[in-house]
């Protein structure tokens, strides 16, 4: 076996040991495809109306006095914008901050629940327990430790703020004008109490729908140390089951959130 082949199998074994103990299987990373679930950070990145956007400044770009090319930049961003992680402490005092979240909640088997049809009919749709049970009727019970992703189809609207969020306005007054799908609190309770999931994600700005004022889904999940992934991309490229998600945030000490590079490996069928 060459060095590359050995490295692939070693990484696969590590991922299986960390993320898939309940399935006792090894994912062969040489047979399948990777899907990038993250939007890039740039001038078009979308943020909550009250959050500061992404800024990238040039420190140096070009030829140095020594005769070689060199670039360096600095950047500034709010924790909660773009494809990002919500740490449980974001809405639950005393729960995990970014650096405290176990890797077992960030790496694991994906469950992808499709609510695109409902979201197309109702921009404020909240994915329900019934949606989860309908998925289970086709694919079986959601295994403990799963990463549950809700596919609304809204990622296709990125980065048009009005189409994606319901408004392109900024400031506190714009919050009341937000319209996008989320996850119903009863669905969150079901995932916490009866399915023991590792984490939850969605391809909209928030796991609560845009018109939420109490953010109950955040509070329910995060009180149980279940982190959230928001503004995900390309969920339409994942099957309902079988993918492996790796969602690693910037490791910000004490952070309530962080930019997230989320990817998924889809094995060959």
* pLDDT tens digits for range 102-118: 999 999 999 999 999 99
**Structure pTM?**
0.90
179 is catalytic: no
Q: What SS3 class is residue 232? A: strand
More confident residue, 157 or 2: 157
Q: What SS3 class is residue 230? A: strand
From 39, 80, 90, 209, the catalytic residue: 90
Q: What is the mean pLDDT of residues 175-188?
A: 98
């Amino acid at each position: 076996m060459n060095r590359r082949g050995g490295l692939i199998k070693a990484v696969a074994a590590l991922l299986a040991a960390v993320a898939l103990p309940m399935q006792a299987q090894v994912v062969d990373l040489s047979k399948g495809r990777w899907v990038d679930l993250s939007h890039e950070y740039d001038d078009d990145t979308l943020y909550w109306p009250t959050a500061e956007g992404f800024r990238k400044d040039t420190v140096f770009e070009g030829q140095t006095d020594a005769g070689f090319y060199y670039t360096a930049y600095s950047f500034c961003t709010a924790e909660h914008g773009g494809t990002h992680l919500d740490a449980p402490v974001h809405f639950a005092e005393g729960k995990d901050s970014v650096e405290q979240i176990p890797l077992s909640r960030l790496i694991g088997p994906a469950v992808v629940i499709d609510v695109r049809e409902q979201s197309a009919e109702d921009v404020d749709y909240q994915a329900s327990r019934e949606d989860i049970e309908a998925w289970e009727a086709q694919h079986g019970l959601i295994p403990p430790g799963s990463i549950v992703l809700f596919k609304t189809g809204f990622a296709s609207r990125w980065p048009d703020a009005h189409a994606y969020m319901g408004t392109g306005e900024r400031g506190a007054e714009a919050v009341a004008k937000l319209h996008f799908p989320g996850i119903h609190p009863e669905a969150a309770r079901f995932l916490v109490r009866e399915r023991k999931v590792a984490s939850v994600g969605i391809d909209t700005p928030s796991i609560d729908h845009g018109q939420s004022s109490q953010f109950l889904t955040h509070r329910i999940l995060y009180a149980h140390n279940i982190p959230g992934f928001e503004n995900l991309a390309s969920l339409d490229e994942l099957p309902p089951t079988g993918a492996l998600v790796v969602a690693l945030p910037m490791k910000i000490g004490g952070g309530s959130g962080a930019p997230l590079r989320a990817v998924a490996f889809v094995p060959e069928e």
